[in-house]
Amino acid sequence: MNVAEITAKTKVLLEALPYIQDFRGSTFVVKYGGSFMDDPDPVARGRVACDIAFLAAVGINVVVVHGGGKAITKAMAESGLKANFVNGMRVTDEAAVAIVKRTLDEVVNRDVCAAIASAGAKPKGLPGDTVLACEKLAVDDDGNPVDLGYVGDITEVKAKVIKKEIADGFLPVISPVAEGFADEKPYNINADVAAGRVASALRARRLVYMSDVPGLLSDPANPDSLISTLKVSQVDPLKKAGVIDKGMRPKVASAIRALQEGVQRVHFIDGRLPHSLLLEIFTDKGIGTEIVQG
């Protein structure tokens, strides 16, 4: 290796040094989205797991909350059930909630844990209903009454249980299910909402949503229309204009709530972009969309 090559290689490492020093011991919550997790390319999925293992290796307390919406829809179809969403939330009857829980805990959570373990970190799968309690969701993100069946509204995050796993050296991997406070039954939780509430309860320094889009787009059909910074005050007009729609609604609503509850920074990044998580955390160059107060 010549001097120029050595300089180029070490430059990258040294650039990361102040971030590593600053972030050591901080808590980051990463929402690992179902959309790109179902990517048939295992290399892409492995890269995300590798980035997560990297964060853990430099002393960041990473907590993963995963989705699995596409896997649930597929499992429902195999049982002859049709998926139906209202503002990005799945209508979940009794038959569906059993499929939701089984798919998330027994398929997706295991897959995510296996990928993270292969990358050299120590994942600990936590079925969401062991750390999240809820009541039945009664209103949507606009405050209008809704009845989506077994869809929950989180009332408690057992932060102590999650922190204990971290203190024991594990990387918690949480599925988006919660236990009904009144009936002790499992309820389906949108994974973006679960990630936001977990981040708030842990007072996370960063909350990163990884999905299959570059971030929030002003024209969802045009990947070049990225909104790099989204102010909270822009949200209502964008909702009315139909720009923040479907899966973006719970994502944006939970991002705002997390900021209001003390999470320092919230980002939406593209999980398909190789090592987007490392780029986002260890360089000055923000990629994706950052949600800010104002």
Ligand X SMILES: Nc1ncnc2c1ncn2[C@@H]1O[C@H](COP(=O)(O)OP(=O)(O)O)[C@@H](O)[C@H]1O
Residues near ligand X2W (CB under 6 A): 33-35, 67-69, 72, 89-90, 100, 151, 176, 188-191, 247
d(CA 211, CA 32): 7
Binding residue (CB under 6 A) for ligand X from 23, 27, 30, 33: 33
d(CA 9, CA 2): 11
Binding residue (CB under 6 A) for ligand X from 247, 270, 276, 280: 247
69 labelled as ligand-binding? yes
d(CA 51, CA 162): 21
Binding residue (CB under 6 A) for ligand X from 146, 217, 232, 279: 217
> Which does residue 243 bind out of ligand X2W, ligand X, none, counting CB within 5 to 8 angstroms by kind?
ligand X
d(CA 125, CA 112): 9
- Which residue(s) pair with 43 in the sheet? none
Name the one range near ligand X by CB under 6 A: 108-116, 120-128, 150-158, 244-252: 244-252
> Which does residue 213 bind out of ligand X, ligand X2W, none, counting CB within 5 to 8 angstroms by kind?
ligand X
Residue 196 as a binder of ligand X (CB under 6 A): the answer is no
Of 126 and 191, CB closest to ligand X2W: 191
Task: With CA atoms as reference, report the closest residue to 216 among 276, 265, 289, 286.
Answer: 289
Amino acid (1-letter code) at residue 12: V
d(CA 162, CA 171): 9
Strands annotated E in 139-274: 152-157, 171-174, 177-180, 186-188, 206-211, 229-231, 265-270
Name the one range near ligand X by CB under 6 A: 15-23, 146-154, 162-170, 213-221: 213-221
Of 17 and 138, CB closest to ligand X2W: 138
- Shortest Cβ distance from residue 90 to ligand X2W (Å)? 4
Residue 69 as a binder of ligand X (CB under 6 A): the answer is yes
Binding residue (CB under 6 A) for ligand X from 27, 30, 34, 115: 34
Q: How far is CA 293 from CA 232, 257, 288, in A?
A: 5, 11, 17
How far apart, in Å, do the first and last CA atoms of the chain sit? 50
Of 27 and 211, CB closest to ligand X: 211
68 labelled as ligand-binding? yes
Task: With CA atoms as reference, report the closest residue to 283 among 31, 51, 120, 123.
Answer: 51
Residue 172 as a binder of ligand X (CB under 6 A): the answer is no
Binding site for ligand X (CB under 6 A): 33-35, 67, 69, 192, 211-213, 216-217, 220, 243-248, 251
